[in-house]
Structure 1
Amino acid sequence: MMKKRNFMHRFIWLVIALICVLFAIGCEGVLFPLPYRSLAPFEGKVVDADTKQPVEEAVVLGIYYFESYSIAGTSSHLKDGQEVMTDRNGEFKLPRTRRWFVLNRGYPEGKLVIFKPGYGVFPDHRKSQAVGENKGWPPPGKYIVYELPRLRTKAERKKNVRSASRYSEIPYKNIRQYWEKVNQECVNVDIPPMTMTEEERQR
């Protein structure tokens, strides 16, 4: 009888411990049994803010954040990305993408970064816009027109490219075109290109 009570006692504590572990993991976006990370889709058109003409070969980078919770509050962690280039009509489509059997699973919150040499970067440049939407967090799955301001001087372009983030938390293979465009602009305006360690590049 005593052995049975001890067994039940240990079993109950094991269940409680397991629930706590699953809860903690779930707060990081890894909620079993979901076997994948789902990246939200985005689509739309990129145009010149002045002429409203399409901007071809702008890189559109979707970046995705998970939230974590602690006694200190809520914080966001950049975990993933996917990218595409605009076509001759300035249009793009980032599909819903699933990353199978990764560490952080679930539905991270996504936002967009748009970069084209000679134009203000979206969303950081004050004159860039997501027409009719909050440019900080444009709604996924909705066709939106994005306006980029053309930069007229070399000084403007230097300031703009220096403000471009590295997003080194994201695997390089997922942001390669973004890096290439940013470094192309660095060369255009005579400043050193961004660099990445070999470890970051291979991650």
Structure 2
Amino acid sequence: MAFAKERVYSGNVIDADTKEPIEGAVVVAIWLKELTTSTEAIDDVKETLTDGVGRWSLLIPEGKIDKTILDLLPFSGKTISEVAGPHFTVFKPGYCSWPDLSVSICRERMKPVEAGEFIKGDITNITIELPKLTSNKDRRRTLPELIHGGREIYIKERRFIRLINAERRYLGLPEYDDLKEFEE
């Protein structure tokens, strides 16, 4: 399916304290399909890594941004679903993941970025500041969960899998061994 227009999401990822660019952070965009049965399934994933100056960019087809999909007609065993997103995660081992605010050090030191800004229009030059974590306890608490969704999703999040496994190794936690084939 060809989309007439693509929306650009881009920006910088920097260290919250030093304001230096963070190279090699993964920026993951996911779309969740919310079914009428009150369950969610992953509809799609896109990812990219920040470059040497902390820049990242993703082209998102216009048709992938918050839309209702009539999967099947009501009253015939068919469902209507909403595709919500994109929802973003930014992760670099040793830093608070964005937008994770579950750890007080992240909440206190992370510059707020309105998530709604990503939906309202073409986002360019948005800066995401990631606070550095110094304790393994905080690193464990902020380790993002892998987005599970089967082979076709894992193939699309290879960099995310690689960085999560690298952090799990560093922290002495078991890796996602069954997903190593998908690491990039």
Q: Same fold (TM over 0.5)?
A: yes
- Richer in strand (by share): 2
Structure 1 portions without partners, runs of 5+: 1-34
User: In the alignment, what sits opposite 1:156?
Assistant: 138
TM-score by length of 1: 0.64
Distance in 2, matches of 1:174 and 1:97, equals 16
Aligned residues: CA RMSD: 3.4
> Which letter does structure 2 place at the counterpart of 1:180?
R
Is residue 54 of structure 2 the alignment partner of residue 90 of structure 1? yes
Q: Which amino acid aligns with 1:133?
A: V
- Percent identity over the alignment is 25
DSSP-derived class of the 1:95 partner: strand
Superposition TM-score, scaled by structure 2 size? 0.69
For the pair 1:142 / 2:118, whether they are aligned, the reply is: no
**CA spacing shift, 1:197–1:187, aligned 2, 3 Å:** closer
Tell me how far apart the structure 1 counterparts of residues 178 and 92 of structure 2 sit (CA, whole Å).
20
Structure 2 residues not aligned, in runs of 5+: 64-70, 72-80
**Contact 2:8-2:58 within 8 A present in 1 as well:** yes
- Say whether residues 1:133 and 2:137 are aligned partners: no
Query: Corresponding residue for 1:191?
Result: 173
Equivalent of residue 110 in structure 1, options 66, 70, 86: 86
Secondary structure of the equivalent of 1:179?
Answer: helix
Q: How far does the alpha carbon of each residue in 1:95-144 deviate from its partner, in whole angstroms, 9 at most, with x for none?
A: 12489xxxx79975201111101001111135268856324x44142121
Closer/same/farther in 2, CA of residues 80 and 130 from structure 1, 3 Å limit: farther
Q: Which residue number corresponds to residue 13 of structure 2?
A: 46
